[in-house]
Amino acid sequence: MARGQRKSIEEKIQAKQELIDALLTRVESEKRELAELLEEKRRRELEAVSDMIGDYGLAPEEVAQALQQFMESREEAAS
């Protein structure tokens, strides 16, 4: 049974390097997309918190103070 011309070792190495390069490019692209999704999630979470603050008619300083008190009481409870 006749076979096609076999690839030389150099051609195999080149093909493998091209595959690796393509995969690395894909990984970088996927990382960028992930970063964008995480940023969008963060923005939505902040918008939800901002909406809650507005709904309750609180000033940002009041919220910061309440969070500070909460964290201090939490730290005391953990001690």
The Cα angle at residue 10 between residues 7 and 14, in degrees rounded to 5: 95
Q: What predicted TM-score, i.e. pTM, was given to this entire model?
A: 0.66
Provide CB contacts within 8 A for 73, sequence distance 6+. none
Q: Dig out the tokens for 22 from the structure.
A: 């393509």
Q: Number of C-alpha atoms within 13 angstroms, CB side, residue 33?
A: 6
Distance in angstroms (rounded) separating the CA atoms of residues 77 and 65 = 18
Note the pLDDT of residue 2: 54
Q: Give the model confidence (pLDDT) of 25-50 as tens digits.
A: 999 999 999 999 999 999 999 999 99
